[in-house]
Amino acid sequence: MRRARRINRELAEVYPYAHPELDFENPFQLVVATVLSAQTTDLRVNQTTPALFAKYPTPEDLAAADPEEVEEILRPTGFFRAKTKAVIGLSKALAEQFGGEVPGRLEDLVKLPGVGRKTAFVVLGNAFGRPGITVDTHFQRLVRRWKWTEETEPDKIEATVGGLFPKSEWTMLSHHVIFHGRRICHARKPACGACPIAPLCPAYGEGETDPEKAKKLLKYEKGGFPGQRLKPPQAYLDAGGKPAPPLGAG
């Protein structure tokens, strides 16, 4: 527990601007964007959702949409037919069961089509300020590398890791870990030689340990590349991060 909390403190210093990397302006946009982020990058979702929300700004609008028109907009995100069915379905549920408002309770969110615990905690933590752990692929990979848990099922990872930290830290913990997984501790070739928590990491050496070679593996603001969001928070820009390009740019 002491080592886990120290790692989180170190990551908080490295990523004081950590944030959800999906663009959103309200809970409805966030829940839709999170559903769309399955099997693709947040960047691709962020490049796609401006057109979607411009045409269908409310759950009622999307619930009444022509599926073929929605499919055409969502095509760049992959699995666009299934995603179209999910976002139209959840929009209908919001309109019919919740007065067009995204509910702020876990038990209600997970009843929406396409919404599981991971998506629900993203929405609760970032749209409602209610603590939750987001167990995505980056989070799963890193907490096992760090020996915080040996579990492989998301629900069990969530419970085990949650027990190591105060509940109030869960949302930002998720952001810190996911940011680190995207920027430095990659799946295939982690940049161990450029990692700020290398002295604390039991998996040090799995990736490139030469500092110069490791630097070349860095992504997003650490490597000088744009991040995932077209409209990132000001703190991210102040830290040297760059907004991502819109769909079709460059």
The residue behind tokens 């699995």 is 79
CB 160 within 8 A of CB 166: no
Cα–Cα distance measured from residue 229 to residue 226, given in angstroms and rounded to the nearest whole number: 8
Residue tagged active-site, from 108, 118, 219, 222: 118
As to burial, measured by CB atoms within 10 angstroms (0-12 exposed, 13-18 middle, 19+ buried), residue 219 is middle
Specify whether the CB–CB gap between 40 and 77 falls below 8 A. Answer: yes
Whether the Cβ atoms of residue 6 and residue 39 lie closer than 8 Å to each other: no
Active-site residue 136, yes or no? Answer: yes
Catalytic-labelled residue, pool 23, 42, 83, 136: 136
222 is catalytic: no
Q: How far is CA 183 from CA 92, 143, 145, 241, in A?
A: 37, 15, 16, 12
| Residues flagged as binding site for [4Fe-4S] cluster | 185, 192, 195, 201
Q: Dig out the tokens for 231 from the structure.
A: 């409209």
User: Which residue ranges make up the annotated binding site?
Assistant: 185, 192, 195, 201
Amino acid at 127: A
Place of tokens 């759950």: 59
Tell me the catalytic residues.
118, 136
